[in-house]
């Protein structure tokens, strides 16, 4: 059984984001873009930490003279 508070939250969410097709579309696109930005940022930070010291930015001063 859905309680009063949970029912009001789900009703609010439906009315706000999913009732009209245009707001549903904007919600889906905005969520996708936001997830993409967060995921890419997190993975890039992970990759930079994992490969520290082996990237060109880290070793180029050994090969290029000023």
Domain positions in the chain are 4-53
pLDDT of 15 reads 92
pLDDT of 58 reads 87
Contact by Cβ (8 Å): 3, 10: no
pLDDT in tens, 20-45: 999 999 999 999 999 999 999 999 99
Residue 27 burial (10 A CB sphere; 0-12, 13-18, 19+): middle
Name the pTM for this structure: 0.65
pLDDT of 45 reads 97
Angle, vertex CA 58, rays to CA 56 and CA 62, nearest 5:
85
Contact by Cβ (8 Å): 27, 18: yes
- CA torsion sign, 26 to 30 to 36 to 37? positive
**Average of pLDDT values for 39-59?**
94
């Amino acid at each position: 059984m859905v309680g009063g508070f949970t029912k009001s939250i789900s009703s609010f969410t439906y009315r706000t984001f999913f009732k009209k097709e245009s707001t549903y579309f904007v919600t889906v696109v905005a969520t996708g873009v936001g997830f993409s930005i967060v995921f890419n940022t997190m993975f890039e930070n992970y990759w930079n930490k994992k490969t520290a010291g082996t990237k060109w930015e880290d070793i180029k001063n050994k090969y290029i003279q000023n």
